[in-house]
Amino acid sequence: MKSQRPVNLDLRTIKLPITAYTSILHRVSGVILFVGIALLLLALDTSLSSPEGFEEVRAYLGSPLAKLVSWALLSALLYHLVAGVRHLIMDSGHGETLEGGKLGSKIVIAVSAVLIVLAGVWIW
């Protein structure tokens, strides 16, 4: 039986709506947070193990790489928070239409971008 459905396996040619991008980014930020929490718990354990461990973590957190990782984790947290609030608003019955979903996605991206820039200024 020959299927008449089109087959497009080239993901670069598929045009996704903005709502799909915000949904994918929400999931990616959740995965980043999951991995990041493990790193933060390891640093906390090291810092609480001894005074030398505390000084080691303190010295490490002053490096530019650690600041970049901290900023990335904070960025993931902020985006995940804003997108989560959008989902809560949609669960209450607001912004469930196609236009409302697109507007909500644009608001999520704009608010997240502002908060991420402010977090970068705060960390650096």
**Residue 39, Cβ neighbours under 10 Å: how many?**
12
94 is in an annotated binding site: no
Please name which of 84, 39, 90 lies closest in space to residue 66, comparing C-alpha atoms: 39
CA dist 87 and 80 (Å) reads: 10
Radius of gyration of the chain (CA): 20
CA dist 102 and 19 (Å) reads: 6
Q: Which residue has the tokens 């020959």?
A: 2
Residue list for the binding site for heme: 80
Residue list for the binding site: 80
